[in-house]
Amino acid sequence: MLFRDDIHVQSNVFLCMRERGKLVPGSTREGHNVFTNTGRNLLSKLIAWKTLGSTDLAFTEKRLRWMGMGSGTQLEVANVSQLNSPVLITPSRYLVEIQSTEHPTSTTARIICIFGVSDITFSQGVVELSEVGAYADVNPADSAGDEDSAAPGFTTALDPSIGTNAPSAYKAFEPINKTADYTIEVRWDFRIV
Amino acid sequence: MHVHADSTLSVQSLFRACLKKDGVAVPGSERVGHNVMTNFGAEWLAELIVWQTIGVSDVPFTNRRVRWIGVGDDSHALVTESIQTLKSAVTIDGTLYLATVDDSLSTPTGPEFVSPVWVRFARTFDYGEISHSGDVVIKEAGLYADYREGGVYGLYPTNPLNPVIAYKAFDGLLKSSAFTLELEWSFKF
């Protein structure tokens, strides 16, 4: 009989542009994506305690926290280490916080990010977008101390002001043109099956 | 056109059990194989990877991580992801049904990272453990996610019915005070 002898994390990205709440025709992109080595490393550290004691100590407290977008593209493979061509979301940040998390089923986690009309296109004009990344992190305000200090390959909190952060999951898609008239809605599902 | 690869992350989990006497494996006592991740385990993982709220201070859905192993002297006839508990949990020391995955008898102690994406949990049950009141035939094992904060656990180690995140049934192993029992559970992401 069939049973879950291996665990599968199926991730799927849906994104679209909206103008005053209405879907922009032809702007929907949907598909599977890749869990990067950074994401796999995160999962292996996340499920384990580093030390057990009166109060257990974790290897990492990072969880999916940010999204970033870019105008480049690259092969969707596990060794993706950054967006190919990251774009600024605000004048000083390449990453924005995920706005909400849902569990459409008990074994599915969905992260949602809405890029506003002035996000990305804060200087007006048109910005072509063709890649998106999801990033795991702790709250920068909580990052002081020894967060992840004993986990090789991990750094402390990410720096949203640089474009070279390593995503845990990555998706390349057919380009869409973002203008200041549009918002972008990104929904990213992680389904454990 | 985009080339897509690795669109689904397959996590390989493997279970291994073995009796040892004076550190030497007892012939015929090795049990190796895949296991089942329960629905409870899948729900736990879906909650673990995301924040519940992101704000001034981020709040997780769960802070449970792999912490315990338990064993039983019977097994579920039908092994599916709907399994919730061991069928017939036995105590480790007469009181506790759960043993930490971090103990001084394991080599190495605590979780071992075989590679950056491959974590292995191990527990070696000492001569007097499990068989504290006589021989026990071990036929099942379960893995548990939990936390301890300020001395307080989420699960109840004295309760035989804690929910398992992963489960393995196997051909019986006679645990007597002449043997140690070594269990390993690995997850390769």
The shortest CB-CB distance from B148 to any of A41, A52, A97 is to A52
CA atoms within 13 A on the CB side of B11: 31
- What pLDDT sits at residue A141? 74
pLDDT score of A3: 44
Q: How confident is the model at residue A176 (pLDDT cuts 50, 70, 90)?
A: very high
d(CA A182, CA A69): 15
Structure tokens at A188: 């990213």
Name beta bridge partners: A66. Answer: A97, A135
What is the band of A182 on the pLDDT scale with cuts at 50, 70, 90? very high
Q: Which member of B110, B117, B147 has the closest CB to residue A37? A: B117
Per-residue pLDDT at B8: 76
Q: Are A107 and A113 in contact (CB under 8 A)?
A: no
Please, which residues 155-184 of chain B have a Cβ atom closer than 8 Å to chain A? none
A153 pLDDT band (50/70/90 cuts)?
Answer: very low
Query: How far is C-alpha A178 from the geometric centre of its chain's CA atoms?
Result: 19
pLDDT tens-place string over residues A33-59: 899 999 999 999 999 998 888 899 888
CB contact under 8 A, B50 and A73: no
- Chain pair A-B, CB pairs under 8 angstroms: 202
Regions of chain B with pLDDT less than 50: 1-4
CA nearest to A171 within chain B: B4
Q: How large is the average pLDDT for residues A143-165?
A: 65
- Cβ A47–B65 below 8 Å, yes or no? yes
CA dihedral A51→B112→B142→B73, nearest 10 degrees, is -110
CB contact under 8 A, A4 and B43: no
Average pLDDT over residues A4-9: 72
Residue A114 has pLDDT above 70, yes or no: yes
Q: Which residue has the tokens 């736990």?
A: B44
Q: Are B187 and A139 in contact (CB < 8 Å)?
A: no
Q: Which of B7, B50, B150 sits opposite A33 (nearest CB)?
A: B7
The domain spans of chain A are 9-21+31-48+61-192
Within the 56-75 window of chain B, which residues sit less than 8 Å (CB to CB) from chain A? 56-58, 60-61, 63, 65-67
Q: Which pLDDT value is given to residue B108?
A: 54
Residue A125's CB is within 10 A of a number of other CB atoms, namely 9
Contact between chains at A106 and B39 (C-beta distance less than 8 A) = yes
Q: Tell whether A144 lies on the interface with B, counting CB pairs under 8 A.
A: no
What percent of chain B has pLDDT above 70?
Answer: 92
Q: What's the pLDDT at A149? A: 45
% of chain A exceeding 70 in pLDDT? 89
Q: Which residue of B has its CA nearest to A7?
A: B11
Residue A86 DSSP label:
B
Q: Which residues of B touch A34 (CB under 8 A)?
A: 4-7
Please list, residue by residue across B73-88, b when 16 or more beta carbons sit within 10 angstroms of its beta carbon and e when fewer do.
bbbbeebebebebbbe
Q: What is the rounded average pLDDT for all residues in chain A? A: 89
CB contact under 8 A, A58 and B57: no
The alpha helices in chain A, defined as continuous H runs, are: 37-46
Contact B189 A77 (CB under 8 A): no
DSSP class per residue in A93-114: BS-EE--EEE-SSTTEEEEEEE
Contact state of A106 with B5 under an 8 Å Cβ cutoff: no
The reply to whether residue B13 touches residue A7, judged by beta carbons under 8 angstroms, is: yes
In chain B, positions 117-156, which contact chain A (CB-CB < 8 Å)?
117-119, 121, 145, 147-151
Residue A9's alpha-carbon distances to A117, B37, B81, B83, B114, in angstroms, are 32, 12, 15, 20, 21
Give the minimum alpha-carbon distance from B90 to chain A in angstroms, rounded to a whole number: 23
Q: In this complex, which of A45, A52, A61 lies closest to B67 when CB atoms are compared? A: A52
Question: Which of these ranges, A61-65, A77-81, A147-151, B53-57, has the smallest mean pLDDT?
Answer: A147-151
What residues in B contact A141, CB-CB < 8 Å? Answer: 56-57
Which ipTM was obtained for this model?
A: 0.90
Average pLDDT for A80-94? 97
Give A39 to chain B, closest Cα distance, Å: 9
What average pLDDT does this structure show over A20-26? 97
The DSSP element (H or E) to which A10 belongs, if any, is strand A7-19
